[in-house]
Amino acid sequence: MSTAAPRSAGPDHLWSVDEHLDDILRTVRPLEPIELHLLDAQGCVLVEDVTVPVSLPPFDNSSMDGYAVRVADVAGASEQYPAALEVVGDVAAGQAELLHVGPGQAARIMTGAPLPPGAETVVPVEWTDGGLGEGPAAGMRARSLAPEGATGQVNVYRPAGPRAHVRAQGSDVRAGDRALAAGTVLGPPQISLLAAIGRGTVRVRPRPRVVVLSTGSELVQPDEELRPGQIYDSNSFALTAAARDAGAIAYRVGAVADDAATLRDTIEDQLVRADLMVTTGGVSVGAYDVVKEALSYTADEDEPGSGVDFRRLAMQPGKPQGFGSIGPDHTPLLALPGNPVSSYVSFELFVRPAIRTLMGLTDVHRPRTRAKLTASRALTSPKGRRQFLRGRYADGTVTPVGGAGSHLVAALARADALIVVPEDTESVTPGTEVEVVLLG
């Protein structure tokens, strides 16, 4: 990627997509880590190396339901000549005080229970008569229904070598081993391991809180009546959903009318719960572009990077964009254009990487691939602008859906990919290989 243009590039500078993205990624920093309960940390990035405090399993234990015995006592056992042993009691999982198994003795043992002193191996219950004297057993009867099973005599029909069906202490992880490295994303198996080694909380970067607000006096909420000149607010719904998909905790503020004072008040009011602020609309060259009007103030000269810069991008859709930071904590703010498709494409290219950078992820971008263009006619693209067309990807080919118009939200709902047409390409003929962003 190219180096970002300086923030002082001036109003006439036409920013490339990469310059704008670089500016965002250079500015946005991962959130400060906090200690979270395991299930609250799901999907988050670990910031510490986690060391195993105690070996797993913490003690030698049985991997089967059966009998803990001495090797010599069952050495010659067969169905014809079973080894008859005295059952001295039960060893259940979780039991602290253990029996001692002497010569000629057996302790009935459950899966996960500690191997008792004196015992050298475990014979599964299916290799015995289970104490019932009726040939090989299918299992044990429940202790609560048949307490006599913990006493009496058991016939063992097969020998077992030393430590058979025994899980050795430390055979899973050893105390001092590194269980997980800093940077690991915590999914279910990692959470399983952390719980298993006794960690109830971990230090992770939290999910960023993203506040989404749309602007426009023409916007009304779904389910309300549409009057002349009005349309429904869809951006605040789409971007809230997309922010959650990216990993954020997203708050939808909804639509704010085109009034700079109201917008400034709303943003200031919401700042307290925002790690990132996203607005849509009001960033272009019109006389009512309220976001630009409200936020185009001179930055604090002592605070590099403060203030919001509005710029033109060499991109279609999504030419007008704003980026900067606001408020006492310099909360990053991305101001997206108001057309639904423009704002959604801008989210995928700029906001999603910003959210994932806040989370501390290294893999911040949507995956890209190359695909053969399937289309009935050539795609056209304006010279000098990178175009992102909506498409459907399957098996190495991509097919455009809908047209290039930035208001075609119906086509967007059928797309699962963006087709990238580079700045210097004005026409792409069917069959050509193109770059594709997979929206997954």
Residue of 7, 158, 163, 199 interacting with its own copies (CB under 8 A): 199
Site for its own copies in 55-84 (CB under 8 A): 56-59, 63, 65
Q: CB nearer to its own copies: give 2 or 171.
A: 171
Cβ–Cβ < 8 Å for 68, 119: yes
- 3-state SS, residue 246: helix
Does 93 bind its own copies (CB under 8 A)? Our answer is yes
**CB of 328 vs its own copies, minimal distance in Å:** 26
Burial class (CB within 10 angstroms; exposed 0-12, middle 13-18, buried 19+) of 189? exposed
Q: How far is the CB of 72 from its own copies (least distance, A)?
A: 25
Here the tokens at position 204 are: 């992770």
Residue 396, token pair as written in the block: 């190495």
Angle in degrees, CA 262, 263, 269, rounded to 5: 90
Q: Does 203 bind its own copies (CB under 8 A)?
A: no
Taking each continuous run of H as one helix and of E as one strand, the counts in the chain are 8, 29
Q: Is 129 in the site for its own copies (CB under 8 A)?
A: no
Nearest one of 252, 285, 246, 245 to 266, comparing CA atoms: 252
Minimum distance, C-beta of residue 127 to its own copies, in the bound complex (Å): 12
Among residues 232, 330, 397, 435, the one that binds its own copies under rule CB under 8 A: 232
> Judged by CB under 8 A, does residue 167 bind its own copies?
yes
- In 15-140, which ranges are continuous DSSP H helix? 17-27
Rounded to a whole number of angstroms, the minimum distance from the CB of residue 92 to its own copies is 5
Cβ 249 to its own copies, closest distance in Å? 12
User: Is-contact 327 335, C-beta < 8 A?
Assistant: no
Q: Which of 415, 417, 419, 421 binds its own copies (CB under 8 A)?
A: 415
Of the two residues 344 and 393, which places its CB atom closer to its own copies in the complex? 344
With contact defined as beta carbons under 8 Å apart, do 14 and 313 qualify?
yes
Query: Does residue number 162 form part of the binding site for its own copies (CB under 8 A)?
Result: no
User: Torsions phi, psi of 126, nearest 5?
Assistant: -70, -15
In angstroms, the first-to-last Cα distance of the chain is 23
Distance, in Å, from the CA atom of 422 to the CA atom of 192, rounded to the nearest integer, reads 45
C-beta of 190 vs 399, nearer to its own copies: 190
**Which parts of 244-283 interact with its own copies (CB under 8 A)?**
244-245, 252, 257-258, 260
Query: For 40-165, where are the E strands, in sequence order?
Result: 45-46, 50-51, 61-62, 66-69, 83-91, 105-109, 121-124, 153-156
Instruction: Determine, following the binding rule CB under 8 A, whether residue 171 of this chain makes contact with its own copies.
Output: yes
Q: Does 287 bind its own copies (CB under 8 A)?
A: yes
Query: Does the footprint of its own copies cover residue 180 (CB under 8 A)?
Result: yes
Interface of this chain with its own copies, residues 288 to 317, rule: CB under 8 A: 288-289, 292-293
Residues 5-64 interacting with its own copies (rule: CB under 8 A): 11-12, 38-39, 42, 54, 56-59, 63
Where in 374-393 is the site for its own copies (CB under 8 A)?
A: none
Sole binder of its own copies in the list 74, 119, 122, 238 (CB under 8 A)? 238
At residue 125, the 3 state secondary structure works out as helix
Instruction: Identify the residue among 5, 85, 88, 149 touching its own copies (CB under 8 A).
Output: 149
Nearest to 198 by CA among 212, 220, 182, 179: 179
Size of the site for its own copies (CB under 8 A): 112
Segment interacting with its own copies, rule: CB under 8 A, options 75-83, 176-184, 328-336, 379-387: 176-184
Query: Residue 398 in contact with residue 371, Cβ under 8 Å?
Result: yes
Stretch that binds its own copies, among 67-75, 211-219, 268-276, 373-381 (CB under 8 A): 211-219
